[in-house]
Every structure is written in C-alpha cells, then in structure tokens.
C-alpha cells in the first residue's frame, strides 16, 4: 500500500496556485444517469480518481461501453444489458447504489447489492427504497441484495409524491433519475440541496426530462415518455470539497497565500465565513479563490449540516486546522455517527482534542509532531496530510488509497504549493 511522506515545513508558508479538478460527487451520479439513454454521452472535466474507475467498471459490467480518458469519459450502449450490480463492485464504493434508480426506471428491474456500512457510519439506504416503492416499485431484500421490480412484474414506474425523512444526497439523486422516466409527475420533498444534486438536475434536463427545483428542498419532475432519455455532452462542475481542502491547507501556515483556481466561492460560503472568523482572508477573484493567512489563527466552532450548512466532508480538515489555532474550538458532527476517526491519529501528532459523543473539543497547541499515521476514510486522510504540512519532522500517512478515491494528483498539487511531500510506493500497511 502506498503512503505519503511529508516533511513538515514548520513556519514555511504555502504559496502558489492549485487548479481544482471536476467534482467526484457530481461525476458519480452523472455516470449512473447515462444508463437512462442508449446514446453516446461525453463527460468532460472528469477527475482521474479511483471512484471514477470503479463506476466505469460497474457500468461495463452492466453492459455499457465505457472509455475513460481523463478528463473525458465516453459512455454508450453495449451489446446487452445486465441490470445487476454485484457485491464485489458495490463494496468498493457505496455510491454504486446510484445505479438502482436508473436501472429499474429504464429496464423495469434491478438487482443491486446492499452497499453495507463504511468507516464513517451505517449508511442505510431506506430512503432510496421507500422512494422507489412510492414510484410503484416492488422491493425485496434477499441475501444482501436489493431486488427491485417495476409495477406488474417489470412495468414502467409511475410518478408520485415522495417525502424524505432526512435530506439525503444519494437518495435525492437516485429518485431524480428514477422519476425522470416514470410516467407523469413526481414531487420530491425535503431533498438534499447540494450543488451536485443541482448539477444532476441540469443533466437530466439536457437528456430531455423535465426537472425543476434541483438544488432546493422541493423538486418537480415530469418523466419523459419515449422510454429512454437522450445522450448528453457536459463538463462537470469543480469539486468544492477538493477546493475547500486546499483552502484549509493554505490557512494552515502563517504567511500562506494560495490561489485556488477554478473554484466557485458561492458553493463554499459557509467555509469561507468560518475561515474569516478564524482570521483568514478569503477573496473571490473571478473563477478563483484567493486564501491568505497573515496572522494568528483563532479557534472557531462549527456544526456540520446538510447544504448550505457546514459540509460534513470538510469537518475533518477543519478540525486539523483548529488543532494549531489559538484557544478552544467545538466541532460537532451531526450527519454521520462515526466521523472522528482522524482524531486519535491527530492526537498522536500532539493535537489536544477531547471527544464527547458527536462533539470534539479542540484546544489549540503551538506545534504538532510528525508521526506515522493511518488513513481510515477519504476526508480523515486529507486532515492527516494537512496536519503533516505544519508538523515538525516527518509525517507518513499510510493507506492513502483512501485519498486516491477523492483527490486527483494530490502530491503534485501540494508540491506546486511548496509542500515537501512524496508518494512512497508499497509502504508498510
């Protein structure tokens, strides 16, 4: 397994420019949406990530012709369709469950492995299944699989009113894709409002469905009547979580001055507010964000929440930043039940954090110490890298396959900002 070895440049500020890649969490549902059409679709600005490869492998298994030539991915119908997503593929990436809605809407049936939990929580899909049943699907759970069938043994889904008990990104996306081919109107209420959901709405409209309100909590959809949607050609929006991660890295070092290129501040307003409260200067410069840290960092409290609240995918990175801020900060995680696995690793680097249920109380310390640390999930890994940037001596972040799922060319991008970092092949696990 690979590792990242970072020689902390205590006091050495991050300087330079970093270009943001396309959004992983937009590309994944959009790749699944290609199942709604047999035409040849082209995705542009797609990041070169393990999750993109995994989704492409799943689409090939389902019978699609997929060519990945980052930053482009081409998808077209293959010889036949096998509406089945096996455990071996789904267990690699939970977002594979996003093929469920398109498959049952287009082909009348689907057999998709239950994704199971992951390091950060149980990650149930009850809302996905409840919504599909509202559209007329019969759902059976059998030996770890979801067996879904359209009305009357594989018929066409029917538009319905769907109310989510919790705002779920994947649930909203799955049901948007299913409703896009259901007969008549559907209204989805209490939807997730993330920019990636809004982007999927744009795609479905490009494909000929009628979607209004994507990005708000109520989405109205009129399903297309011709049995399939049209192919599309689309450039994916930038990755706001990647952008926020580099903004936090820039704020980590006194004197940091970084231009985050190709990022939109309006998708990162809450993070920008919190960074400004901590004493960091954030300016929008066209389609770029300038981050400058001129003085001392102040402790700031955050509570994660569905968009437009503070993103849970930025919590671990922000906690690493608070580890060296002056004073106390209280970090509350309200979305996932086990998303503090970066804390024990940061404590080994000298961070002072007290965990109480879904809250971490951080007392800023003057310095962190390099150590060998273990990545456990994508964003926890990023927080360890960020801590390593300012820690004394050397930090080795192991099992960085987690990082490779969501951060394209991370060592190159960090080197471009002056970080002394290298990838170590085959480091001990």
Closer Cβ to ligand EPZ, 25 or 41, answer by number: 25
Shortest CB 124 distance to ligand EPZ, Å: 4
Among 183, 262, 406, 417, binds ligand EPZ (CB under 6 A): 406
Among 6, 30, 75, 125, binds ligand EPZ (CB under 6 A): 125
Closer Cβ to ligand EPZ, 28 or 371, answer by number: 28
CA 228/CA 217 separation, integer angstroms: 26
What is the footprint of ligand EPZ within residues 230-289 (CB under 6 A)?
Answer: none
Shortest CB 310 distance to ligand EPZ, Å: 11
CA 127/CA 166 separation, integer angstroms: 8
What is the footprint of ligand EPZ within residues 308-327 (CB under 6 A)?
Answer: 312-313
Among 22, 71, 171, 262, binds ligand EPZ (CB under 6 A): 171
Residue 171, helix vs strand vs coil: helix
Closer Cβ to ligand EPZ, 30 or 207, answer by number: 30
CA 172/CA 51 separation, integer angstroms: 20
Count, residues near ligand EPZ per rule CB under 6 A: 23
Instruction: Tell me the two tokens of residue 425.
Output: 């092949």
Query: Which positions ≥6 away from 30 have C-beta within 8 Å?
Result: 43, 199, 200, 203, 234, 236
Closer Cβ to ligand EPZ, 18 or 191, answer by number: 191
CA 289/CA 284 separation, integer angstroms: 5
CA 5/CA 425 separation, integer angstroms: 10
190 binds ligand EPZ (CB under 6 A): no
Burial of 284 (0-12, 13-18, 19+ CB in 10 A): middle
191 an active-site residue?
Answer: no
Stretch in the footprint of ligand EPZ (CB under 6 A) among 84-92, 126-134, 203-211, 420-428: 126-134
Contacts 24+ apart (CB under 8 A), 208-213: 209/180, 209/181, 211/176, 211/180
Burial code (b: 16+ CB inside 10 Å, e: under 16) for 289-310 equals bbbbbeeebebbebebebbeeb
Shortest CB 320 distance to ligand EPZ, Å: 15
What is the footprint of ligand EPZ within residues 88-107 (CB under 6 A)?
Answer: 95
The residue from 32, 118, 137, 191 that is catalytic is 118
x/- track of binding to ligand EPZ for residues 192-211 (CB under 6 A) = x-------------------
Instruction: Tell me the two tokens of residue 275.
Output: 């960074």
Among 124, 279, 309, 344, binds ligand EPZ (CB under 6 A): 124
Residue nearest to ligand EPZ (CB): 170
CA 73/CA 30 separation, integer angstroms: 11
Among 10, 109, 123, 290, binds ligand EPZ (CB under 6 A): 123
Among 25, 190, 253, 376, binds ligand EPZ (CB under 6 A): 25
Distances (CA, A) of 376 to 108, 351, 400: 38, 18, 9
Shortest CB 271 distance to ligand EPZ, Å: 14
Phi-psi region of 350 (alpha: psi -120 to 50; beta: other; left: phi over 0): left
Among 145, 318, 336, 340, binds ligand EPZ (CB under 6 A): 336
What is the footprint of ligand EPZ within residues 372-391 (CB under 6 A)?
Answer: 378-379
Among 128, 193, 274, 402, binds ligand EPZ (CB under 6 A): 128
340 binds ligand EPZ (CB under 6 A): no
Beta-strand pair 41-44/72-77 = antiparallel
Strand order in the sheet with 328-332: 302-303, 328-332, 359-363, 352-356
Among 9, 121, 151, 308, binds ligand EPZ (CB under 6 A): 121
169 binds ligand EPZ (CB under 6 A): yes
28 binds ligand EPZ (CB under 6 A): yes
Task: Please state the three-class secondary structure of 394-426 as a single string.
Answer: EEEEECCHHHHCCCCCHHHHHHCCCCEEEEECC
170 binds ligand EPZ (CB under 6 A): yes
CA 203/CA 164 separation, integer angstroms: 22
Cα torsion 339, 340, 346, 352: sign: positive
CA 20/CA 228 separation, integer angstroms: 33
Question: Which residues of the chain form contacts with ligand EPZ (CB under 6 A)?
Answer: 25, 28, 95, 121, 123-128, 166, 168-171, 192, 312-313, 335-336, 378-379, 406
Give me the active site residues, please: 118
């Amino acid at each position: 397994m690979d590792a990242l070895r970072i020689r902390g440049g205590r006091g050495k500020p991050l300087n330079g420019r970093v270009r943001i890649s396309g959004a992983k969490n937009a590309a994944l549902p959009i790749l699944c949406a290609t199942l709604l059409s047999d035409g040849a679709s082209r995705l542009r600005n797609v990041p070169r990530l393990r999750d993109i490869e995994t989704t492409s492998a799943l689409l090939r298994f389902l019978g699609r012709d997929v060519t990945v030539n980052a930053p482009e991915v081409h998808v077209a119908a293959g010889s036949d369709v096998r509406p089945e997503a096996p455990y071996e593929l789904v267990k690699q990436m939970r977002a594979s469950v996003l093929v469920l809605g398109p498959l049952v809407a287009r082909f009348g049936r689907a057999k998709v492995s239950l994704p199971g939990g992951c390091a950060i929580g149980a990650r149930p899909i009850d809302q996905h299944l409840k919504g599909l049943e509202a559209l007329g699907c019969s759902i059976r759970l059998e030996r770890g699989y979801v067996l879904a069938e359209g009305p009357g043994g594989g018929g066409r889904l029917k538009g319905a009113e769907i109310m989510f008990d919790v705002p779920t990104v994947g649930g909203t996306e799955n049901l948007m894709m299913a409703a896009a081919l259901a007969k008549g109107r559907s209204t989805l209420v209490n939807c997730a409002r993330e920019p990636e959901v809004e982007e999927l709405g744009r795609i479905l409209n490009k494909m000929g469905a009628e979607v209004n309100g994507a990005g708000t909590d109520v989405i109205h959809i009129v399903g297309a009547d011709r049995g399939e949607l049209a192919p599309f050609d689309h450039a994916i929006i930038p990755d706001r979580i990647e952008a926020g991660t580099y903004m936090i890295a820039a704020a980590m070092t006194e004197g940091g001055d970084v231009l985050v290129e190709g990022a939109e501040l309006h998708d990162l307003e809450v993070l920008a507010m919190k960074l400004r409260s901590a004493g960091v200067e954030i300016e929008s410069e066209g389609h770029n964000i300038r981050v400058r840290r001129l003085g001392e960092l102040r402790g700031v409290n955050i509570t994660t929440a569905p968009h437009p609240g503070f993103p849970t995918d930025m919590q671990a990175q922000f906690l690493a930043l608070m580890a060296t801020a002056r004073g106390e900060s209280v970090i509350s995680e309200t979305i996932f039940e086990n998303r503090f696995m970066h804390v024990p690793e940061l404590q080994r680097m000298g961070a002072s954090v007290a965990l109480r249920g879904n809250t971490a109380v951080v007392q800023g310390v003057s310095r962190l110490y390099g150590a060998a640390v273990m990545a456990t999930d994508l964003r926890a890994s990023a927080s360890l890298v960020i801590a390593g940037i300012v820690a004394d001596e050397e930090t080795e972040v192991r099992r960085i396959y987690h990082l490779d799922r969501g951060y394209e060319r991370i060592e190159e991008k960090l080197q471009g900002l002056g970080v002394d970092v290298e990838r170590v092949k085959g480091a001990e696990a």
